[in-house]
């Protein structure tokens, strides 16, 4: 339980501002724990671990066109004619 571990866990849970708000402390307190200026006591570590991890956004698959661009206008015109 050192400053680097604290920072890694905090990053999994949000920004310094978000985590500070959830823990009821100032953002600078989080920053000081991450730099080692302020020691990370057991209670602070456990409180951080009790916060839910942020969901990572799933990567969107690459969308490929199934027809050539010039066919799009033709297909649209054909659909309008029907």
Q: The domain 1-53 is classified under which CATH number: 1.10.3470, 2.60.40, 1.10.260, 1.25.40?
A: 1.10.260
pLDDT at residue number 29:
97
Question: Contact, 13 vs 54, CB < 8 A?
Answer: yes
pLDDT tens digits, one per residue of 7-54: 999 999 999 999 999 999 999 999 999 999 999 999 999 999 999 998
| Angle of CA points 42, 18, 10, to nearest 5° | 40
pTM of the model as a whole: 0.66
**Beta-carbon neighbour count of residue 26 at 10 Å?**
13
């Amino acid at each position: 339980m050192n400053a680097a571990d604290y920072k890694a866990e905090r990053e999994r849970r949000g920004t310094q501002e978000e985590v500070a708000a959830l823990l009821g402390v100032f953002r600078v307190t989080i920053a000081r724990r991450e730099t080692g200026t302020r020691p990370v006591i057991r209670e602070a570590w456990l409180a951080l671990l009790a916060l839910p991890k942020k969901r990572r956004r799933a990567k969107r698959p690459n969308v490929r066109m199934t027809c050539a661009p010039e066919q799009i206008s033709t297909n649209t015109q054909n659909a309008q004619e029907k």
